[in-house]
A and B are shown apart, each in its own frame.
Chain A
Amino acid sequence: MTGIFIKQHCGPAKIGVLENDTETPALMINLENNLASRVYKNETLRKTLRKFQKHLLSSSTWPPPEEKSELINSNVIIFPPPFRLRTPFILEEKSGTGLKEELKRYIERICELKSSLNKKVLIACCLPADFFRTSKNQIIREVLKEANIDIATISGMESVANNQRRLVEILVNARKTIPADIAIHASVISLPTHAPLLVYMGVDILDCAYPLIAAAYDVYLHERGELPLQNMTVLSCTCPICSKYDSVSELKNLPPDARFEILSAHNLIMLLKIINETRDAIKRKTIWELLENHVYSLPVTTAAMRHLLLSHQEFLEKYTPVVTSRRVICTSALSYYRPEVVRFRERVKERYMPPSNVALVILLPCSARKPYSKSRTHKMFREAIKCGAGPKFHLIHEVIITSPLGIVPRELEMTFPAAHYDVPVTGHWDREEMEIAISALVNYFQKIGGKIGIIAHVENAYKEIVEEAISQLGLEAIFTVKNSESVTSPSALKRLETTVREMLEGHELKGGDAKDRLVQDYRKIAEYQFGADVAIDLINETSVFREEGNRGVRVLTEGKFVAFLEYATGLYKLSLHGAEVLLLKNKYCVFVKDIPRTEDITADTVIRACNEIRPHDEVAIILDKTVIGIGQANMCGQEMEEASKGVAVKLRLMKPNIKSRQ
């Protein structure tokens, strides 16, 4: 077995375990190199690094230096690529056969050498960054899939450290190209300012090169940037190295070699600190919050993050869990494109259909308290609406306008992340947020199609949004809040009530409509979660909904318990009956080759997994065309298929007779 064992994801960032038990994100140091080993002689640095032994790799290059016939301390060997692979021209040939052959030969040679070594070491192949800027991905992927290597080192990364677009293109492309069970080492780009972003893009290993280069030029690295020593006025760092010095001038006055060693040690400790923070953030599922803070230190990282969010959403979304227990905190403009948020908007646009048989749409502002209906303002709105509608309440569809989710149909207000996001409420909307809401609203009305009664009980920016959306579509709305009023003023609420009453006049009440609407509301959540084709079978006119305390709602369809709607997440957990629907529709299925023996279904037992599966999705476990269990995905579908190790699914329920057969 080779490669990396995926423990957990937070977006594309992950905690992994290598064959020698090193936990990633990890730092690589080449102690065979004279300079690195000289720096490493510093006792304080060594002590600090030792604490992170679990996250340290010691590398060497092939062939070993002549004087040392044995690779003594290293646990990684990086194999130099053949010169042909280093030429930029290998990529120019259209068919790519030259590249394929050369790459194959290189990998084969590595594997041969590996099997000839009598020591267990990790093996790294070295691929130029340029490989990931062409359309030759498929070739590279094919060769690597067969390969018995642990790490892919991407070289030439330092040349794109200041080029946001290339940096992102290369790493995203590399992660898409390199099979999931090979760890990625981005070489010579280990800047503390870049590290969290690099890890977020799927890099597993960084090295010590950059901190030493910086030190050689008397540059001090810190979390938010780099500073030439000569420009420093205070020594604010409290790392174990710096705390030995009283002032900057003391550092400045050190002899050059000593200064280089001290600066190197500080720079390394700083890098290590950031890597540790990143690892911690992955474990605590707060990588986004870390990034939102961290990338703003430099224009290039900010731009890279933005580019990543705007151009590679599908890549990020794939690895982002559909639900977590943490709140979704949106503090900056970057979070308009936070994957959880974009996913919500996209699913409302693509999977969700407004309920049928609706006569009136009421647009409402969001509230700080979630779910909205628990807030004071929404309680007031609903009271007025109910008063006005009377028994025709089910003919109304309430839609909440909000940033950065765009719109939240009332029936999805509990669904993650609609009840789980926090934004700084200032009442001020920027243009980007408004555009997002307008486009969501336009899409909503397009799906309704044709004319419909619209009441907009909104003020300020919300009002502008509604006005722009309806004018784009040539629709009309009645605004029930006057300019001088607030949405909760009694006069406005009264106007809301009477307008609702007036607009529903003439709409006939049909028998069964209220029940039909209830079914639709529950189905909408399933539509959001699994798509329309699964939802329609999961919940139909026979469905019965039984509330169980404040935990959630039990759904029985055709007399069978199919799903449980959890209030905490606003998402369904399926029963084995529910899982049958997934199999029937061939959605969210994981096909395994064996009966799971433990709760953890590992990736190597997965034969096939549906492409739409995301981490934390409900999935049906299928063996020989029958459902044998239900569980929660721990990876995305593609990764389950590719990885040879790591937990693919956490099994929650297993068919009893299958268990006993074992």
Chain B
Amino acid sequence: MPEIYNKVLKIRKKYLQKVSVKSSTLKRPIYMKSYDEKFDGEICKAIVITLKTRGCAWALSEFGGCTVCGYIYDAALKPVPEDLLLRQFSYAVREIERTNRPVILKIFTSGSFFDEEEIPPPVRHKILEIASKIDNVREVVVETRPEFVTSDVLTECTKILGDKILEVAIGLESSNDDIRMTCFNKGFSWKTFLSAAKIIKENYCRLKVYIFLKPPFLTEMEAIKDAIRSTRDAISAGADTISYNLSTIHRGTLLEYLWKRGEYRPPWLWSAILVLQKVSAIVDLEKTKILCDPVAAGKTRGPHNCGSCDRYVVSILRKFSLSQNPEVLENIKFCRCINAWKAFLHAESYSFSQTVNAYETLT
């Protein structure tokens, strides 16, 4: 059986050749941004910094990485000297210093924060130490694959951070092993995730789980159901925050390949609304934070509706994420593309494949 990773690897290699020519600076982070987010009842300033590291170990492996992820093309692809990593981080520090509001500091790499090939332990210590010394930092969020989560590392991190909360985010995508393995080529099992979740909780860290909407090869409805199911499973595994990742088509990914063949359409924003509606009915929003902040919404490469209601629907998603108030999701203004979306769901109930809609491109 030609495993899916063969294809992923092929696409990956081809595209890596393309991008490797333009090697960019290692002195600046890949990305930095700030926005408002609710944390323990108060609205904070969230600062996101994405450090340029060697890149995700999974994407660099002979398994080619995840089907939906193109972050590796932003990575350095070679070890980044420690001083440069710290220099990148200093951008975030400066950003924090500019505000006196409470801050949630999100330190991302295009991979795993706990992977020592990406962030060597001394750098990790240093970064956390700096963060621990800034008063208005309430919480530090890092992302990692579950296999890098060990009790030793977490004990050490929490020790450095002191009274600041550490949230560890894991890209679970789906709690269904078949979907995670076959559709995402994610390479870790539910069991691996569970043991990581356990360690995180035992160390009094918070657990954030990313859930992907919609996975490739699923119909829109299957994806909605899977997102809801995965939310339940993740919460029962101890998740404190659920963040829905509405798909965008990254370059050089299998997802892009499918998208170009007409076999994948990013989700409708209505689907995200539906997921939030269903989830907020079954989840205790006091205990679990539910986030959905779509990227590239309204674009053909991002989650989108008909084009005329996209902004409005995104504003609802943001409003909900910020307020955690389910009433935001009620009485949503009607757009006639709701019927188109439903007709999509209906069509896929016969075919179980991505419905190619000739009219969509016309309107």
Contacts and interface: CB of A to CB of B under 8 A. Distances in A.
Interface in B331-363: 334, 336-337, 339-340, 342-347, 349-359, 362-363
A594 interface: no
A185 B351 CA distance: 10
Interface in A250-268: 256-257, 260
B48 to A, nearest CB: 32
A334 to B, nearest CB: 26
Interface residues of A, number: 54
Contacts of A43: none
Contacts of A156: 263, 351, 353-354, 356
A215 B343 contact: yes
A214 interface: yes
A90 B351 CA distance: 18
Contacts of A159: 262, 356
Contacts of A98: 1-2
A207 B6 CA distance: 36
Contacts of B356: 156, 158-159
Name, among B179, B345, B349, B355, the residue most crowded by chain A CB atoms within 10 Å (CB to CB).
B349
Q: Which 5 A-B pairs have CB atoms at the shortest separation, nearest pair first? A: A98-B1, A209-B347, A155-B351, A187-B351, A217-B359
A59 B358 contact: no
B350 A216 contact: no
A584 to B, nearest CB: 51
B352 A126 contact: yes
A90 B350 contact: no
Name, among A84, A155, A217, A218, the residue most crowded by chain B CB atoms within 10 Å (CB to CB).
A217
B349 A33 contact: yes
B200 to A, nearest CB: 29
B353 A86 contact: yes
B7 interface: yes
Interface in B215-244: 217-218, 222
Given A156-B353, A159-B356, A80 B222 contact: yes
A217 B261 CA distance: 23
A88 B67 CA distance: 14
A61 B349 contact: yes
Interface in A51-110: 59, 61, 78, 80-84, 86-90, 92-93, 97-98, 101-102
A161 interface: yes
A214 to B, nearest CB: 7
Interface of B: 1-2, 4, 6-7, 178-179, 182-183, 217-218, 222, 258, 261-263, 334, 336-337, 339-340, 342-347, 349-359, 362-363
Given A83-B218, A158-B355, A217-B340, A90 B2 contact: yes
Contacts of B2: 89-90, 92-93, 98
A128 to B, nearest CB: 6
Contacts of A87: 4, 182, 217
A102 to B, nearest CB: 7
A298 interface: no
Contact of A214 (B258, B345, B359): B359
Interface in A219-240: 219
Contact of B350 (A59, A84, A260): A59
A34 interface: yes
Contacts of B339: 35, 215-216, 256-257, 260
A89 B4 contact: yes
B346 A33 contact: yes
Contacts of B357: 158, 213
B351 A97 contact: no
Nearest to B339: A216
Given A35-B342, A213-B343, A215-B343, A128 B353 contact: yes
B340 A213 contact: yes
A92 B339 CA distance: 37
A83 B178 contact: yes
B273 to A, nearest CB: 15
B38 to A, nearest CB: 31
Nearest to B262: A159
A601 to B, nearest CB: 36
Given A216-B339, A216-B340, A209 B351 contact: yes
Contacts of B6: 89
A588 interface: no
Contacts of B336: 216, 218, 256, 260
Nearest to A162: B358
Given A80-B352, A90-B1, A155-B351, 20 more contacts: A32-B349, A33-B346, A82-B178, A83-B179, A84-B1, A87-B4, A89-B2, A89-B7, A92-B7, A98-B1, A126-B352, A153-B350, A185-B350, A187-B347, A188-B350, A209-B351, A212-B346, A213-B340, A215-B339, A216-B337
Contacts of A208: 346
A634 interface: no
Interface string A142-161: 00000000000101111101
Contacts of A260: 336, 339
A28 interface: yes
A102 B342 CA distance: 31
A185 B352 CA distance: 13
B254 to A, nearest CB: 9
A87 B352 CA distance: 12
A210 interface: yes
A30 interface: yes
A212 B350 contact: no
Contacts of B362: 217
Nearest to A158: B356
Contacts of B340: 213, 216-217
Given A28-B350, A158-B355, A207-B350, A35 B1 contact: no
Contact of A216 (B217, B342, B353): B342
Contacts of B263: 88, 156
Contacts of B345: 33, 35
Contacts of A188: 347, 350-351, 355
Nearest to B363: A217
